[in-house]
Structures are given as structure tokens and as C-alpha cells.
Homo-oligomer: A and B are copies of this chain.
């Protein structure tokens, strides 16, 4: 599978795929005689994992760590669970902060709309 096909299969851009490889997140694939990258089908799953991880708020550094500590193909379970718990805690506080901000904004709107309507 060439990089363009992989890109289409995952919905990522080819440059993103190269970027992940350059930064040690996606393992470098075999090369064809002409120098083209030749991906195994499993690359799709890895990229989907990365993309989902990003959507869940993991940084690329975290994803690299998760993917590199795996014995074979899958990231080590214990490390994943640790990472997930940390992320959960982060999200909890993030949500709280956002809710507090919303309350502040609502309050500000109320102040501005109620008093001294010039």
C-alpha cells in the first residue's frame, strides 16, 4: 500500500503520515525498489489509533510512548491504562474549568444586559 492509498484509507493527509513517521510515532515501512513507502494493512489501524488518541486529547508524545512500549504490535496494557487514567483526570479538571468559565460568561452577559442599557 502506497502512502496515498493509506492516506485515503484513513482520511489523513500523506504529509501527516510522513510527519508521524519522522517523529517516531508511526514505524517506518518497507520501501519498494523505486523508494516508495510500502505499508502493511496494519498501518491503517495504527493511524486510526493515533487519530482517535488525538481526538481524545492525547499529545503525540504520549501516543509515541504508548505505541513504543508495546511488546509486539499493541501498546502495553498497563501503560495504556495509566495513560487513560491520567487523561481522564485531566479531562475532569478541564470540564470543571470550562463549566466555571461558562458560568462566568453567563454572569457577565446578565450584568451587561440588565444594567445601564445606554
Identify the A interface with B (CB < 8 A): 55-57, 77, 80-81, 84-85, 87-88, 91-92, 94-95, 98-99, 101-102, 104-106, 108-109, 112-113, 118
Contacts and interface: CB of A to CB of B under 8 A. Distances in A.
Contacts of A112: 77, 80-81, 84
Copies per complex of this chain: 2
Contacts of A77: 112, 118
20 contacts: A56-B101, A56-B104, A80-B112, A81-B112, A81-B113, A84-B105, A84-B108, A85-B109, A87-B105, A88-B102, A88-B105, A88-B106, A91-B98, A91-B101, A91-B102, A91-B105, A94-B98, A95-B98, A95-B99, A98-B98
